[in-house]
A and B are shown apart, each in its own frame.
Chain A
């Protein structure tokens, strides 16, 4: 089920390609965090660990301009998958190819420093995402307008409400004109007005032909925005296809007994 032949965008050049990607985490029980523990472990000759595959043999291609939803239960590997694409993790096995700049909206405001002002954070966050100072200064005004937090822009972000924090982070991440947008469950926070603003921006991104990977637990959002959906379970792709099929299967995973009675 992992081929893209059934995707509506078949024929367009892939902008993201994953081949047999596996991400293994070594979960060490009582990992020797200090030398003392290391020595005591060495002398006793035991290190207990187990390997855990957060993403297992996943292959897919995303053509440029597609909006693909990624759904699955908690712990199914959605976030790990996005982080692999974003380059945070180098996968244990497999090949990842990404042709274009990425704006990871994985954990908004990850690069913010609490003591710095909003304005200083715009620059720092942009630099962390690999943009140049010039890029960021050019866009600063538009970012501030979108974030719409008034005079707070020159206050340290630790004084922000979580909504303001989110708004600024979203503005920074999306104003930088990436080719690929990775959205991880971030729109769940924020009020209705801000949510609407974000989706408006996502629609604009789609209209501009950008590629979007959208992780969400809101099936309504996935159904409404995505043309293709990947359903993950225990790190593997269960289905890669139309939103309706994937969502139906997902719901049956959540409540198997409910489906059985239908």
Chain B
């Protein structure tokens, strides 16, 4: 773990440059360029708001905010994994030619998506007053679930990046896992909608605690309970510990398989 911190600090400039490169390339050749990082979530929000305020009406007031408060962090999670799973394989040419620390690739995938997430919070912050939803002071709490989510996601990215080096099916399996995970997590629905006797099942989902933090602070204007915060970090560190140990163990053999 110390190894991870030391290396990410040592290669911080490289990680940052690779993350920016990823963003640059994503938005290159588009007329609006980097603006898409803001526009994309804004347009998505517009669509969701229209759909849920006029076409499909849920018994949840300001459903768009309810949904977006956790959909944006989920998108970060899913996108980071989708990018990172291929990160070692797509940089295979580089790994075969330059002695480069391998951990920079999944980390760069995470950072570039984290930048995207932070940018997408801006249109959300604009949308909240527009829909006449109260703008709660609990927004200042957001860095806490953001950190817990980033830690959890990083561990997962390490794991999937390694697995995909050895078995390329992993990238495909990941997409299935993610879509199942999406519906099993209370993102489009509140947990209360589920019968209480099944709640313990949902609580096995490591993402539920951190997701809860986002929704409470943005939509309900409340702070999560201490156990919930603790649980989100415990899940995060377990994921990171497992993910990074596997990554470290196999990183020297990547060069033979990419």
Contact = CB atoms under 8 A, between A and B. Distances in A.
B14 interface: yes
A242 B99 CA distance: 31
Given A88-B99, A113-B25, A124 B17 contact: yes
A219 interface: no
Given A33-B168, A38-B167, A104 B17 contact: no
Contacts of B24: 115-116, 120
Interface stretch (B90-98, B141-149, B198-206): B90-98
A110 B94 contact: yes
Contacts of A255: none
Contacts of B98: 86, 88, 104, 106, 110-111, 128-129
Contacts of B168: 33-34
Interface in A234-260: none
Contacts of A111: 94, 97-98, 100
B3 interface: no
A113 B256 CA distance: 22
A125 B204 CA distance: 44
A110 B13 contact: no
B248 interface: no
Interface string B93-117: 1111111100000000000000000
Given A25-B256, A86-B99, A110-B97, A116 B13 contact: no
Interface of A: 25-26, 32-36, 38, 83, 86-90, 102, 104, 106-107, 110-111, 113, 115-116, 120, 123-124, 127-129, 132-133
Interface of B: 11, 13-14, 17-18, 21, 24-25, 28, 93-100, 167-169, 252, 255-256
